[in-house]
Structure 1
Amino acid sequence: MPRSFWDRWAGFYDLAERTNRTAVEGILRAVVKRIPAGAGVLECAAGTGAISIAAASRAGHVLCTDMSLPMLERAKTKAARLGLANISFERRDLLSLPDPDDWYDVTVAANVLHLLPAPEDAVRELWRVTRPGGLLLLPTFLQGEGGWGFTNILIPAYQLAGFRPKHRFTRRSYREMIDGCGLGRADYILVKGRLPAGLAVLQKP
């Protein structure tokens, strides 16, 4: 099976995130503070597990998932180094989750919606497995609002390596996409950084 861009990129992923450290750390803080103590958490497209590992400090259990096995192996190594016992790892496609409806207290998918041709499908699938009263947290880099260096240097460099975003969200277009899913009221938070992120927060009735 051919290695994907994300398989090849796994060894550099954490280094790449440091180029936008302010936004990445802001996302971590914003997500973790919204996780209730003892919650069951699903993270999809987790990469090397930064959010899942941070969430484990509050959650009862975290299921950290990604399509890339090399990414998951790095996440496992980091969790093992920290001695975390309340986190597990699985390869999963966030567009087709095996879980029953209304299963998790909190579902998270960070910085993946801009990679999908139809991000609404992923939002609705995550919503399906979120229990009533639970939270869906969707932090997403706003590539349409990046600074000059990201827009003209870093993103083109990533594209040369095989990075293929499908959307360049702005605050407005991201809000329109989420609202268009028809899931009810969402709160929107801007996470500042060299490449800012929009965090959509939805609570399931």
Structure 2
Amino acid sequence: MFTSLFRAILRLLAAVLALHTTIRIIRHFHKFPMPEFLANLIDNPLRRRLQPPGEMPIRHGIEPGMTVLEVGPGNGRYTVELARRVGATGKVVTVDIEPKMIERVTQRAQTEGIANLEAKVADVYDLPFEDGAFDAVSLITVIGELPEPERAMREFHRVLAPAGTLAFSEALLDPDYPLARTLIRRADQAGFRLKRKLGNLFAYTLLFERG
């Protein structure tokens, strides 16, 4: 019985690995935003263990009173934690190209009584904000979805205040997972300097400052 169970587990793991590899290959050649119907699927216990929602704003260097831009909110679980972290004197603006995703986040904020959060549809390559409008830009498992990450980073550089922080968190389970050295190279090309690195191969956070 134990042998049969062990084999079943191995087959399941092999199937999951094969699916993950297939998705990574597809996503490598065909980048597209995460569909709204998958928002809850990626908000799973394993991800929350690797990237605890309540801890992520701290890992990203977010402080009370900051004005923060979040890109790619998913179902809003991490977004509301950002808003709680900045407090009543701060503000979070979250953007996504998918209107239904923005509707989902707006509804979550209303349900949870979050008043310092604005969710809007926007193109990450042409953000509708003034130069230096934000103290921080925060992305969690999002940058790998973008077909032109360097172009997006240049736009982040524009909307960040001179002393602002650009923060990325990535997890190996994400099909769009980039290696840390890849993000560091791309950020450097966009005018950023690495300020801090946290974590390991399985889940890491990178914080950058403007060069």
Question: Common fold, TM-score beyond 0.5?
Answer: yes
Deviation at 1:24, TM superposition (A): 3.0
User: Which of 59, 63, 74 pairs up with 2:104?
Assistant: 74
Larger Rg: 2
Pairing of 1:1-205 with structure 2 (within 5 A) = 6=34, 9-18=35-44, 19-25=46-52, 29-32=55-58, 34-59=61-86, 60-142=90-172, 146=173, 155=175, 165=176, 168-190=177-199, 196-204=202-210
Deviation at 1:201, TM superposition (A): 0.6
Provide the rounded CA distance (Å) in 2 between the counterparts of 1:114 and 1:63. Answer: 21
The 3-state SS of whatever aligns with 1:56 is helix
Structure 2 counterpart of 1:64, one-letter code: T
TM-score by length of 1: 0.74
Deviation at 1:179, TM superposition (A): 3.1
Contact preservation (8 Å) 1:23, 1:191: no
The residue aligned with 1:162 is none
Unaligned ranges ≥5, structure 2: 1-31
Q: Matched residues, percent identical?
A: 25
Deviation at 1:35, TM superposition (A): 1.2
Provide the rounded CA distance (Å) in 2 between the counterparts of 1:51 and 1:136. Answer: 16
TM-score by length of 2: 0.72
The 3-state SS of whatever aligns with 1:117 is coil
Provide the rounded CA distance (Å) in 2 between the counterparts of 1:115 and 1:81. Answer: 28
Deviation at 1:198, TM superposition (A): 2.8
Q: CA RMSD in A?
A: 2.5
Deviation at 1:5, TM superposition (A): 6.3
Provide the rounded CA distance (Å) in 1 between the counterparts of 2:157 and 2:146. Answer: 17
The 3-state SS of whatever aligns with 1:94 is coil
Contact preservation (8 Å) 2:33, 2:97: no
Q: Deviations over 1:83-108 (max 9, x none)?
A: 11111111011111121111111111
The 3-state SS of whatever aligns with 2:120 is strand
How many residue pairs get aligned? The number is 175
